[in-house]
Structure 1
């Protein structure tokens, strides 16, 4: 099958039409005609070669929603019928046979298929292929395709940590950053039952944060703002790419609390041992959720009215969408209409 995609041919370049041959459909594979695709910072990381390993031409995109057009011979037709509306996210396949897949942790599979790292086979295209149909998720009727798209990475990333680290409805949770990830996280954790505090550098997004479900807002740039909340939180989710004073954020945790990073800091960081050890605090990293995590996330979002706030752009105007994400000015997620 010939696929029309939109590729950057060098670092930082605009997206131009690009065609490639997807080859024959494998027995477990599924082809999806893309209608919408979210724009994540990781997509920009590949387009701009921020990580230093992009191979051009790059077709980015890993938050795709569309319609099933073809399935391999071994795909269960009842689970994934032709014409069904599905999403393909950050992980488009795993082996389902390794230690990690058998534990239900497909995101750790050494053979996983990372959609955005494929080079020229990402989801900024008219079609995208999942290498295993079980990584194509039926989209609940209550979610529009445009709203569902960012949930395939941002949603499963923040919701997956809630499950993995056993966040309880009675927990006091802080979400650092009211942005593309953070505004979704506030909604999920508040709907879960947690008392949520948003931490932002200023109060410019305070009204939005409270509208998303935050019970309180801390402006970290204000004098003594963090010190006033020492020992307050059971779980902190950092969604920002900034280099933060990590000891101060560990200081916000109650004994036994966890600071989880899903945003990617720009530089290596250090923490003082006395900020971590005496009260048995944990500093952990987070990745997108498993197959089951993602299915549960979509169902929970549909049932509890969790919706990303989006700006939509036709694919012909992809440059404007990318610029909104580059400058951090999108409110709050950009979505391409294919």
Structure 2
């Protein structure tokens, strides 16, 4: 099948029409006709080759919503025309120790959609390498809001399950952006007392609208130290180099700091920040196939939605620019079909 896509031909270059042949459909594969594509900062980073791993021509995109166009002979539970999504992970082996235990997101051979080179989701069609990573979208979630849930949504939802966050916990979310505004909504619906932490005091009203009952302006002198020992769980969603000892200091004994943003510099801590009260610092990534489907169901039942800016395909570059400069509120989505 010939696929019409949008590719960058060089680092930082504009997206231009690009066509490739997807080849024959494998037994477990699914072709999805894409109607809406979310833009994540990772897409911009790959287009700009910030990580030094990009190959051009590059078709980015990993938050695709559309309808099933074709299925392989071994595909189960999906029908032609069904509304579905393909997110950050489009396949895994399903036979390694991680897959058989349900942790498909830790599969060493997983198919990361955005790292495929010229086979990403900024296209008229995207192919999932395994049907179990193609997620039916609940009727309650509009297509323009579903895409960001498949990356940002599952990235902040899965740590709640993995780290055993309880409804009785006091939690904090660092950063009120594309990830953070969803994390606040999930945690509030989970039953937690949620405090938002931001360098931007003007975001307090937004944070409260998303469900936060507390707010810390981290740029104010002494604000973090004043909240020391307050939280059971702190979810850091920003890609910034922070004073990590102060953030670990926010934790109660045996509390957890979970980092899902990607700081440019190493995370450095004093041993005495961790050891005396048995605190933990852990990383988080996009959820497994099972966690992603649980997230979609939870979002549908609790009316959790990303705030999105929607753009026609003719304004693709404008949408990318909004994400690149960090001004999108709070996710950008392009109508692709």
Shorter chain as denominator, the TM-score bin is over 0.9
1: CA distance between counterparts of 2:44 and 2:282?
A: 24
Deviation at 1:47, TM superposition (A): 0.3
TM-score computed with the length of structure 1 as normaliser: 0.99
**Partner of residue 159, structure 2:** 161
Deviation at 1:35, TM superposition (A): 0.4
**Partner of residue 233, structure 2:** 235
Deviation at 1:326, TM superposition (A): 1.0
2: CA distance between counterparts of 1:315 and 1:152?
A: 20
Deviation at 1:202, TM superposition (A): 2.2
**Partner of residue 138, structure 1:** 136
Deviation at 1:277, TM superposition (A): 1.0
- Asked if 1:246 corresponds to 2:244, the answer is yes
- Per-residue CA deviation, residues 88-147 of structure 1 (Å, 9 max, x unaligned), is 000000011110001100001011000000000000000000000010000000000010
2:267 corresponds, among 266, 269, 290, to: 269
**Partner of residue 23, structure 2:** 23
**Partner of residue 36, structure 1:** 36
Deviation at 1:64, TM superposition (A): 0.5
RMSD: 0.6
TM-score computed with the length of structure 2 as normaliser: 0.99
- Per-residue CA deviation, residues 32-76 of structure 1 (Å, 9 max, x unaligned), is 000001100110111000000101111000000000010001111
2: CA distance between counterparts of 1:253 and 1:81?
A: 47
- Asked if 1:50 corresponds to 2:50, the answer is yes
2: CA distance between counterparts of 1:316 and 1:130?
A: 26
- Per-residue CA deviation, residues 170-196 of structure 1 (Å, 9 max, x unaligned), is 000100000000000000010000100
Aligned residues: 336
Deviation at 1:261, TM superposition (A): 0.5
Give the 3-state SS of the residue equivalent to 1:190 in structure 2.
Answer: helix
1:192 corresponds, among 190, 193, 196, to: 190
- Asked if 1:7 corresponds to 2:7, the answer is yes
2: CA distance between counterparts of 1:4 and 1:316?
A: 15
Misfit runs of 4+, over 6 Å: none
2: CA distance between counterparts of 1:28 and 1:313?
A: 33
2: CA distance between counterparts of 1:172 and 1:19?
A: 50
**Partner of residue 298, structure 1:** 296
**Partner of residue 328, structure 1:** 326
**Partner of residue 174, structure 1:** 172
